[in-house]
Structure 1
Amino acid sequence: MATWTQEVLDLARVIGGDRARLREEFGRPTLTVPSGWWRSSIVALRDRAHLTYFDWLSAVDEAGAPSPDPADASLAGGMRVVCHLAGLSPGVARTHLRHLVVETWIPRDALVVDSLATVYAGAAWHERETHEMFGIGFDSAGPLEALLLPDAFEGHPLRKEFVLASRVVKPWPGAKEPGESDADVASPSRRRTRPPGVPEPEQWGPRERGSDAPDPLAHATTPSGPARPRRARRAVPPKEPPGDGGTDG
């Protein structure tokens, strides 16, 4: 592990203890910190690790995923808040750009984390979008007003339990568009089914807690299996023995 990334890990562990972890992912170092030390860790990285550039912040719905921390089972199936920071290497030249992805996990029933709006200029816009799409709250961020969605929109479209209308109305696995099929070739019609996790068409959309409607999140927390049972192999009738080719008379 490079010297700079080890310094980053040591700095994070001073704040968050042994629960701070560093790994290499997609060619970039990724630092995981406890949610209670989210903001303080980011401030330390900005001031002491020279990560003065804020790139983006978003979230990932980890429904069905195990907890990343064996000591905290409440994080299983929660959400991951992620941000990307960058900074020039210290010194006279300052020509090398360093990148770091910082993330924290929060429980699904307590989707709140400290805001970075006063740490980096522009973070408030990303937090508003993340709040809209995932329903995550950001403490001390001020009013999280709608940014992309209409004011009357209900639900959070990037959560896995939110059923998209396009998945409901599209046949599954989907028929060909008009004009694409060959009308002259006879073929058996496919049995139309709803996509996994999609309830009846009249029930799609935001689902209230405790509702009796089918849970769209269930497919993410149960072992995957075939969408339909495999068809039995068609029995091939035995071939009749060829005739002797003779003629009567």
Structure 2
Amino acid sequence: MSTFETEIAERFGPEATAEAAYDLLTVDVPAGTWLDALRTARDELGCTYFDWLSAVDEPGTGFRVCAHVVALEKSTEGTAVRRLMLRTTVPHDAPVLPTAVEIFPGAGWHERETHEMFGVDFTGHPHLVPLLLPDTFEGHPLRKDFVLAARVAKAWPGAKEPGESEHGGPKRRQMLPPGVPDPNEWGPLKGQLPPAPA
């Protein structure tokens, strides 16, 4: 970790780690310090622009909740953009985090979507109701263990090439790529080859 990354990580507490890549500083914090980390980003680092919040289901680890915030610094040369990704992990059996709406009001919509798609509960959220799915929908479709209804009703057809599955069926027709002339009609082997498939 570079000196800059170490200094930034120290602002988020002793258990935080930081890594910089592709003009993005990523800081991992424990779930217990999630709100403190967001306040630190806003108040100490000037990240007043809330961009997005979402989660990733990592089997065997939990749900990694990510928030992307930005600091815009104006100078005589223009506006400099500093991007920060804050991440924390909550376990699959207790996916709970406090809401960030008090710190970043724009987080409300994103937390609703993350709750709906992954089942992460944001305690203290003022209106944690379905956002995209119907009220009668059961489950959380972006979890890795969610079974797609289409896969239950019909087996996935792309497991093998046509003609290779146990169901038989015709093989895929051989074709020339678009724009490629029949070598039997054009070129040095004209008239010497069997005709190309139509």
Fold shared, TM-score > 0.5 on shorter chain: yes
Scaled by the length of structure 1, what TM-score is found? 0.60
**Structure 1 position 27, deviation (Å):** 4.9
In structure 1, the residue corresponding to 2:85 is in which secondary structure? strand
Among 142, 165, 175, which residue is 1:190 paired with?
165
- Gap change, CA 1:30 and 1:82, over 3 Å in 2: same
**Structure 1 position 53, deviation (Å):** 0.6
In structure 2, the residue corresponding to 1:97 is in which secondary structure? strand
Partner of 1:11: 11
1:71-93 CA-partner distances (Å, limit 9, x unpaired): xxxxxx21100010101237676
Greater strand proportion: 2
Percent identity over paired residues = 45
Partner of 2:47: 51
After the TM superposition, which residues 76-95 of structure 1 pair with which residues of structure 2 at under 5 Å, given as runs? 77-89=61-73, 95=79
The answer to whether 1:168 aligns with 2:152 is yes
- Gap change, CA 1:30 and 1:119, over 3 Å in 2: same
Among 32, 37, 40, which residue is 2:36 paired with?
40
- Gap change, CA 1:89 and 1:158, over 3 Å in 2: same
Does structure 2 conserve the Cα–Cα contact (< 8 Å) formed by 1:8 and 1:45? no
The answer to whether 1:139 aligns with 2:123 is yes
Among 82, 94, 100, which residue is 1:110 paired with?
94
**Structure 1 position 175, deviation (Å):** 8.1
The answer to whether 1:119 aligns with 2:115 is no
Instruction: Structure 2: give runs of 5+ residues left out of the alignment.
Output: 168-198
Whole-Å Cα distance in 1 between the matches of residues 150 and 127 of structure 2?
31
Does structure 1 conserve the Cα–Cα contact (< 8 Å) formed by 2:23 and 2:83? no
Would you identify which runs of 4 or more consecutive aligned residues in structure 1 move more than 4 Å?
90-94
Amino acid of the structure 2 residue aligned with 1:84: H
Does structure 1 conserve the Cα–Cα contact (< 8 Å) formed by 2:55 and 2:118? yes
Whole-Å Cα distance in 2 between the matches of residues 27 and 173 of structure 1?
41
Among 132, 153, 156, which residue is 2:137 paired with?
153
1:177-216 CA-partner distances (Å, limit 9, x unpaired): xxxx7xxxxx5x5126xxxxxxxxxxxxxxxxxxxxxxxx
After the TM superposition, which residues 56-71 of structure 1 pair with which residues of structure 2 at under 5 Å, given as runs? 56-64=52-60
**Structure 1 position 171, deviation (Å):** 3.1
Among 107, 111, 114, which residue is 1:130 paired with?
114
Number of matched pairs: 165
In structure 1, the residue corresponding to 2:82 is in which secondary structure? strand
Does structure 1 conserve the Cα–Cα contact (< 8 Å) formed by 2:24 and 2:82? no
1:110-146 CA-partner distances (Å, limit 9, x unpaired): 1100111111121100000000000001111123111
Does structure 2 conserve the Cα–Cα contact (< 8 Å) formed by 1:57 and 1:82? yes
Scaled by the length of structure 2, what TM-score is found? 0.74
Instruction: Structure 1: give runs of 5+ residues left out of the alignment.
Output: 65-76, 182-186, 193-249
Whole-Å Cα distance in 2 between the matches of residues 41 and 175 of structure 1?
45
**Structure 1 position 169, deviation (Å):** 3.7
- Gap change, CA 1:135 and 1:29, over 3 Å in 2: same
